[in-house]
Chains A and B, each alone.
Chain A
Amino acid sequence: MTLDSSPVPAAEAVVWREKTLGENLARAGVSRRSFLAFCSRMAAVFAVGAPVAGWAGSASGATPTAEEIASALEKVTKPVVVWLQLQECTGCSESLLRAGGTTVEDVVLKLLSVDYLELLMAASGDAANKALEDANASDHVLVVNGSVPTKNGAFCVIGGESAETVLRKSAENATAVLAVGACAVWGSVQASKPNPTGAVGVEEIITDKPVLNVAGCPPIGEVIVAAITYILANGDLPETDSEGRPTFAYGQRIHDTCPRRAHFDAGQFVKTFDDEGAKQGWCLYDVGCKGPSTFSPCPVVQWNLGTSWPIGSGHPCIGCTEKDFFDTFTPFYTELPDVELPGVEATANKVGLGLLGVAAGGVAIHSAATGVRRWQGNRKDAGDAPLVAFGDTDKVWLPTPQGRPGLGGRHQAPDETTEEQS
């Protein structure tokens, strides 16, 4: 790639010069082959969970192939994406960066014209603020990282305005809203008791349009990219579960595809992190694994370019794709006593004795809904969600609809929520 002698400021290097993404990729010298390699990785993510129905241009009408993804993406014309970072830890951005490895993801992401991403922009503050205003004025995809403090706007201030104001402004003309990471989905650790800042997720503030929840603390980088890819290629949100998560990635429990599952079924459990069972790769349920109640593509997509994943490395799942995982699942490394497993009538202890097979567990319990239907109020579907089976009431899973008065954006006092949960 040739360079003129002036430095290439970050903002300029991401300029979308040609009409379509395909043309931009060609201009940037990205070979068809590496673009297809990227698309097959996306295809793999789409194939994790529930079949992707209705992919635009898919011959089979089902989960798209790499070729189909490529041809849809190539036609994409310049989308405007606004990317906000509110109360967060940068972990999601780090995870996203680690989706790299080839440069195609870079190109796809950077060519998105991410018109306002604090972390990806080295532009001056004024220019950044202007970019945000311009982007907000047009139709755009809004991606949010981080939670919104509701107790005092001064807990998180961006460009002189509170996080809540910035979010409301950016959401006004947004055609799609993605909440990326547990912070943006429900507040993550800072929203755990006593939630000192009153941190809430995007959908507590933006209640008049669907929010796609890319759950996880952080989500796997590839899954973030896949969610964006889906929206770009289809101009629509993917199908979601009752938690607003795309079913293509979050359509199954970790427990359903866990390679240690045979040991669970056979009643072979690790009792401490260093015992013979740990060395043999037995099931981690007794040392606190939350896989049976956690919906996530970790076992399939894995982390750091497919290097490993927690359970693969002997680490019980802590359930970070589930709402309120911190308050609900602590202490993390202790087996929850006599907990009922979802879809079965036995506790793990009994299962451990080999009394029951649980192969079918979980298949039927995952209710799907499109994003639009979801926000219209079918949150009650969550009543059959797996946490209930963990001995809690449905209040753990979600705030009750009454708990969100008037959908006016103000959530119930966090203390109340957390009290209810305990």
Chain B
Amino acid sequence: MTAVDSSAGSVDLFVSPMGRVEGDLDVRVTIEDGVVTSAWTEAAMFRGFEMILRGKDPQAGLVVTPRICGICGGSHLYKACYALDTAWKTHVPQNATLIRNIAQACETLQSIPRYFYALFAIDLVNKNYAGNPMYDEAVRRFAPYVGTSYQKGVVLSGKPVEVYAIFGGQWPHSSFMVPGGVMSAPNLADVTRATAILNHWKDNWLEKEWLGCSIDRWMEIKTWEDMQAWVNENESQYNSDCGFFIRYALEIGLDKYGAGCGNFIAPGTYLEPSLYENPTVEGRQDALIGRGGVYANGQHFDYDQMLVSEDVTHSFYSGSRPLHPWEGETDPLDPVKSREKGKYSWAKSPRYEVPGLGRTPLEAGPLARRVAAGAPNPGSHQDSDPLFIDMLAKLGPSVFVRQMARMHEAPKYFTWVMDWLSKIDLQGSFHTKPAELENGKGWGATEAARGALQDWIVIENGKIANYQVITPTAWNIGPRDSEGTLGPIEQALIGTPIKDMEDPVELGHVARSFDSCLVCTVHAYDGKTGRELNNFVINGMV
């Protein structure tokens, strides 16, 4: 499933030196005979965080890295903290692990409806579908601002981050997680309030609007057949936003394209408090609740961060070979000049050394997590869920399956958060003051709503000697590598059928299904003439 681009040099075919960019990500595709034949994803903004962190106090990453992306700020904080925990060999009390889990999950719970209604569903009401019998209903529900589900979904999406604010003081951009635990010492009122807020969200959005059934009923679904039967089980499920989305997605063919590379990465997240009181790089895999793993060519592998490297062949950085992030470099070049050498993005290309396959681009995100949850031999505390292995086998990866993977996490994580809230020992400890070791290496990882998010830190003489961040968006939107192998979104776009060359909404579905955190513009070109057909902004938040 790996697409390789052999036509080096064609990259610059259609672009002026500066590029034509709105927002932070530029996607260019060529279309021939109604099908996408090639794609380039170009990250268009550089801020130099890794350079800023070098030489700073080790804890600087806690404040700096969340500012990489305000949508995932809590996830950045979470993994930056674990990077220090492993480097400083801290002790993290069980309460602190619970609260970190809760906060991380609440950010994701917030993201799910916000993303679905405000970003993804907009394309479902594109006029290209106006002839479809289900179209009027889609518009009634999902039209931006005025759809019956839109306003509710977007407004209620703010609820889970109110819970974040109870523990973290604010969202976005709290800094309340610190090596050795968390700053908050919540009381009973805080926990009660958090529980009430989440129940409100569940009652009014998750069960009422989205599922049309109880969480328990939804979680009984184990196969694609179960899911289809669920839709038809009763009117409430059939007509819920979820029931409607499944029917409409199949109707307009979202299960037919956007496959991507079909290989996945998930470092996993949420730790079992009793198994991770002394965080280490090696001990993490077994302590995970939301499992990690790599899935390539139909095989599950344990996730090993040592096998990650970043390639800068097509990125605006100097560097001659792929480097593991502990050795990673961030040395920006002038884009105008380096375009001549075939470079075209500010994102690096992260790759994973899959045993037997070599350096491979992998898709990060909810589908990757759902695949990892289907691996054999789970621990008793671990997520074990066969649903998406089943759906992949029967449907293959697609826009639809990726989207369902994301939505499936709402009921799942809700249940987990409620469990963690009930386990907090209010009399217990929330922080153990760490020894600030002068030297060390650390790695912190999590699953942001949109996928694998990891930091690698090297501390020397009490200062940061190296700091590298790999975001899920980099995994997904990264450019070609030294072999010319395309990144996951680039691959996912290829083969997409385009009905209306002047309004290629299908490209929006594919790119949005990855929920890249960047506002991005798609430019479609006629593959034969090079004429620009259209360009439009996606992931704009309405």
Contacts and interface: CB of A to CB of B under 8 A. Distances in A.
B51 A159 contact: no
B440 interface: no
B488 to A, nearest CB: 22
Interface residues of A, number: 88
A160 B532 CA distance: 15
A298 to B, nearest CB: 8
A264 interface: no
Interface in A210-261: 217-218
B171 A303 contact: yes
Interface stretch (A118-126, A200-208, A366-374, A388-396): A118-126
Given A10-B542, A118-B519, A313 B169 contact: yes
A88 B73 CA distance: 13
B64 A93 contact: no
Q: Is the interface of A mostly helix, strand, loop or mixed?
A: loop
A194 B168 CA distance: 29
Contacts of A401: none
Interface residues of B, number: 89
A61 interface: no
A326 B66 CA distance: 13
Interface in A133-168: 149, 152-162
A288 B21 CA distance: 41
B439 interface: no
Nearest to A116: B22
B162 interface: yes
Given A13-B144, A310-B176, A332 B63 contact: yes
A162 B49 CA distance: 20
A18 interface: no
Contacts of B181: 273-274
B144 A9 contact: yes
A94 interface: yes
A39 B168 CA distance: 28
A159 B155 contact: no
Contacts of A157: 18-19, 21, 44-45
Interface in A158-202: 158-162, 188-190, 192-197, 199
A263 B335 CA distance: 54
Interface in A43-80: none
Interface string B166-204: 111111111110101111110000000000000000000
Contacts of B178: 273, 333
B127 interface: yes
A13 B180 CA distance: 48
Contacts of B180: 273
Interface in A81-136: 85, 87-95, 97-98, 100-101, 103, 106, 110, 118-126, 128-129
Interface string B188-228: 00000000000000000000000000000000000000000
A231 B139 CA distance: 36
A124 B180 CA distance: 47
A307 interface: yes
A359 B188 CA distance: 32
A360 interface: no
A333 B59 contact: yes
A124 B536 CA distance: 4
Contacts of A376: none
A118 B539 CA distance: 10
A156 B44 contact: yes
Given A193-B52, A330-B63, 8 more contacts: A3-B143, A10-B145, A89-B67, A98-B161, A121-B537, A311-B169, A313-B183, A320-B173
Q: Which 7 A-B pairs have the closest CB atoms?
A: A91-B70, A196-B48, A310-B169, A303-B170, A313-B169, A274-B431, A7-B125
Interface of B: 16, 18-23, 44-49, 51-52, 56-57, 59-60, 62-64, 66-71, 73, 93, 122, 125-127, 130, 136, 139-140, 143-146, 151, 154-155, 158, 161-162, 164-176, 178, 180-185, 332, 334-336, 429-433, 517, 519, 521, 523, 534-538, 540-542
17 contacts: A90-B71, A101-B155, A120-B542, A123-B537, A124-B534, A125-B537, A149-B46, A154-B334, A162-B18, A197-B46, A273-B185, A274-B181, A303-B170, A313-B169, A314-B169, A326-B64, A330-B60
Interface of A: 1, 3, 5-10, 13-14, 85, 87-95, 97-98, 100-101, 103, 106, 110, 118-126, 128-129, 149, 152-162, 188-190, 192-197, 199, 217-218, 272-274, 278-279, 287, 303-305, 307-316, 318, 320, 326, 330-333
